[in-house]
Structure formats: structure tokens, C-alpha cells
Structure 1
């Protein structure tokens, strides 16, 4: 079974889609996919579907959704001529819950984590070219927002936020690697979009400032700082981090930092303020 959640939901058995069109069964499949090869408790699935207001028939209705998913899996297995595996082997009932077995299939978010991890290790080894390449490969797995076509409940929403944060961290590191390789002019258009999308993210703004200054656009770099400062004060009542303030001062005296704005304080506040 192959699973894709980094964009539209796609679950395929032997290359045949088993993704239902009805919203509620899609929610069930999405949550099982996010926890592939792990048991998802019945209570967790019910919370995902109905939050704090499950109907009296909630358990029966959930069983109906599971039955529908097994019908789709069974049809895919039959079409593929698979006789050794049944739908109940793929979507397994266990004490208190269900498990979706991938049986070694492709899971895009796990592949993303593997590729991104290789990129982070390359960054630590100061192999910036290798890091940029590996992180770019990891980010290429994303085709849109996670579970873009699923109406997620609060359980899946937590996983979606985690995945989106992982995506943003990988993007941040890939841009840092490109800056270290002197690709500042190539980054300008991408960073223009990113700082508008993530208006409280200090690290991206710092990278944009650095790229602008290295491209001979000092005044625009300082304007980026002022816009971010105004937004932080207005939205959060906070001043920019000391790391970003140092970068601004270095640009004012025409001494841009050569290694970007990475640092424990900047990184921590960037995660906390990601918009």
C-alpha cells in the first residue's frame, strides 16, 4: 500500500486507489494513513469525526465507514489478482482500534523525514551543496498543504500542523544552505513570497534581508526589518530577536553577516512565531 498525504490524500493498494469520495470515510482513512502501521484507537477516530458530540450510533457508524474502506481495499486486491492477502489483513481490527498495514509500501511523509534528515546531517557536516540538494528533494514530495482535500478534525489537524512545521523547518534550512553557497539573487523571488505568507517568521525575514543586502539592495533589506518589527509589535507586542537586530545593525554599517541569521534564540522564536 502506498500513502500520500503531503498534498491531496491518496491511498493506493497495488496501484489502485482506495480513497473514498464521501467526507467522513475520507477522514477515517486520512487519520489511519497518518498513523500507518500503528493502532489508532476507536476513541481517537470518534473524536476525529465528531469531537465532543458523538451521536449515540457513533460506534456503529464508524464500523460502517471501516466496512466501506474494506470493500474498496477488497476490490483493489481482486482487481490486482492478489489472493494471499485479504482486506482484513490490510485494515486490521485490533483490541480497541484499527491498524492500516502498508506492508512495506511507500509513505510520503516518512520519505520526507528520511530525506530531510539526510539534509540536516549534511548541514551539520558543512556540506552545503549536498544539504541544499537533499532538502530540495525532500520538499519536492510536497504537492500542496497536507491533506489539502480532506475536512480534518482536531486529531488529524495536530498531525497536519506537525507536518507543516517540519516542511517549514526543511525550507528554512534549504534556504540557509543556498545562502551559504552564494545563491542570494536566485532566492529573492522565493523569499518575497515566503515573507508575505509567513509574516511573523523571523528567520525567513532575516534570510530575505541578507539576500537583498548581498544583492546590493540595502535600503530594501532595512525596510524588511522595519515591516517585520511593526508587525511583531502590533500582533504580539514583541520586539524582533537580538539576532535579527544584530543583522539589521550590521546592514546599517554595511557589514552583512556572511553565515545568515542562524542561532538558538532566532531559531526558537522563528518556530514559535511561524505564521
Structure 2
């Protein structure tokens, strides 16, 4: 969530995948652009902290039938989403970011910043 520090406050970033896909920073909605950008954010948020192969992302973005320039388009969507994350809130070491390594992308963010993960954690607590 966020931590108060004397010199600055970290932004509260929320990835919403239950219901309409969205991104909120400190309670305000961040425009995500195209349907493909929202689908990309959802695919990465559902796997927060884990690498997702570019081929898998392309399958999710185009329902298993990517167009000829799908790879280039996917890279553009990642770039736009990175830019939106940077512009949405103050930069800090713990700010959410998308990392690329060896044909994979990873959303590095706090697990609890994704509503689906918070829901899973609450269900597990209720069952305990």
C-alpha cells in the first residue's frame, strides 16, 4: 500500500482486474488507452511478480491468432503501459514497474496492489 515517510509519501497504486480493468493511483483513475493496453495490464497483473512470456501475452492479446506485426505491437503496448505507470505516480524504488528479460515481461509490484490477489488472500484468511 503506502508508507508515510518524513520526506515523501509513496503513492497507493491499485491494479483492478475484478470487473472493469483499471489502474488507480491514490484513488484517482489512470487512463489506460486501448483495449489491448488494458488486456496487457490485466495479463501482467494476474501474474504479478512472475515473468510472462511474450508469446503468451500475444496469445492473450489476440485470442491465439496474433496478426503479422503482433510482436512489434506488443512491445509498443508494453512501452505505453510503462509510460503510464511512470507518469501516474511519484518514482520510488518500490513503485510498480514492468521489467523485461529474455522474451518475458514481469510486473513488479506489491502483491496486495492487485485486487484479485487481495481477494485470494482474504478468501484464504476466511478459510483459516
TM-score strictly above 0.5: yes
Correspondence for 1:112 among 116, 119, 123: 119
Q: Which has the higher strand share?
A: 2
Deviation of 1:114 after TM superposition, in Å, equals 2.0
Deviation of 1:115 after TM superposition, in Å, equals 1.9
TM-score relative to the length of structure 1: 0.38
Correspondence for 1:71 among 66, 83, 87: 83
Instruction: Give CA deviations for 1:37-83 in whole Å, capped at 9, x if unaligned.
Output: 11111010110122342222111011111111111112113xx3x3x
Correspondence for 2:98 among 60, 85, 91: 91
Q: Which residue of 1 aligns with 2:109?
A: 102
Q: Which has the higher helix share?
A: 1
CA RMSD of aligned residues (A): 2.4
Instruction: Give CA deviations for 1:232-261 in whole Å, capped at 9, x if unaligned.
Output: xxxxxxxxxxxxxxxxxxxxxxxxxxxxxx
Q: Give unmatched runs, 5+ long, in structure 1.
A: 122-275
8 Å CA contact 2:49–2:111 kept in 1: the answer is no
SS of the counterpart of 2:55?
A: helix
Distance in 2 (alpha carbons) for counterparts of 1:68 and 1:110: 24
Q: Which residue of 1 aligns with 2:45?
A: 33
Distance in 2 (alpha carbons) for counterparts of 1:17 and 1:75: 13
Deviation of 1:10 after TM superposition, in Å, equals 2.3
Cα distance 1:86–1:42, how it changes in 2: closer, same or farther (>3 A)?
same
Q: Which structure would you say has the larger Rg?
A: 1
SS of the counterpart of 2:113?
A: coil
SS of the counterpart of 2:32?
A: coil
Which structure has more relative contact order (CA 8 Å, sep 6+)? It is 2
Any runs of at least 4 consecutive aligned residues in structure 1 with deviations exceeding 6 A, and if so which? none
Q: Which residue of 2 aligns with 1:48?
A: 60
TM-score relative to the length of structure 2: 0.75
**Matched length:** 116
